[in-house]
A and B are shown apart, each in its own frame.
Chain A
Amino acid sequence: GEDVEQSLFLSVREGDSSVINCTYTDSSSTYLYWYKQEPGAGLQLLTYIFSNMDMKQDQRLTVLLNKKDKHLSLRIADTQTGDSAIYFCAEGPYSSASKIIFGSGTRLSIRP
């Protein structure tokens, strides 16, 4: 079945770039999502990309998609303390959210 995998932890220094990686297995056309979960809160959609795109940029966020390797990354430029959170990668059809598969989340911590 479909699976989405992420590393569990990432620690970066404040001001550096953070790169969070994700791999997925579904080979059909799909959307790939990045959600952010702050402590004690629900998930919030950061950005998403369709599987026929290579890159999407939105201010400090850059999403890169390598469709051949089924590898997705989220780069956060100039990482700030407010970026401390758990970041979830997810994949699935836009038309049917019930079929979205979530990764286990990467906890990003920021060092001063």
Chain B
Amino acid sequence: NAGVTQTPKFQVLKTGQSMTLQCAQDMNHNSMYWYRQDPGMGLRLIYYSASEGTTDKGEVPNGYNVSRLNKREFSLRLESAAPSQTSVYFCASTALGGEQYFGPGTRLTVT
């Protein structure tokens, strides 16, 4: 059982480039989440999807878009990367409620 998987593990972008972070879960969870983790700031919610076909903004959605492709997959897109988006990005999923299962993270650097 793979749980939550994320690709890529590492990425370096130049300012203005675009990219999509991929996330998939094999636990048949309804809800999925994208967070960013910055030093000294904990995790901040970017976007979430309560169920297939729905997405909602979290605390810090600016500069990001998401797609809930199907029940398994939830992708995060940066259309025009900025240095302020240098961070570690985590995807998570939940079955019914608070216990979240996290992926291993994507470390993104924007130069």
Contact = CB atoms under 8 A, between A and B. Distances in A.
Interface string A45-60: 1001000000000000
A46 to B, nearest CB: 11
Contact of B100 (A43, A95, A104, A105): A43
Interface residues of A, number: 24
Interface string B66-89: 000000000000000000000000
B104 A98 contact: no
Given A102-B42, A104-B41, A97 B33 contact: yes
Contact of A8 (B40, B90, B92, B105): B40
B78 to A, nearest CB: 20
B97 interface: yes
Contacts of A98: 31, 33, 45, 48, 50, 56, 58
Contact of A100 (B40, B50, B90, B98): B98
Contacts of A94: 97-98
Contacts of B43: 43, 88, 102
A10 to B, nearest CB: 15
A19 B69 CA distance: 42
Given A42-B104, A43-B100, A97 B31 contact: yes
Contact of A42 (B31, B40, B98, B105): B105
Interface of B: 4, 31, 33, 40-45, 48, 50, 56, 58, 90, 92, 94, 96-105
18 contacts: A4-B42, A42-B90, A42-B102, A42-B105, A43-B43, A43-B102, A44-B102, A45-B100, A48-B98, A93-B97, A97-B31, A97-B33, A97-B94, A98-B45, A98-B56, A98-B58, A102-B43, A104-B42
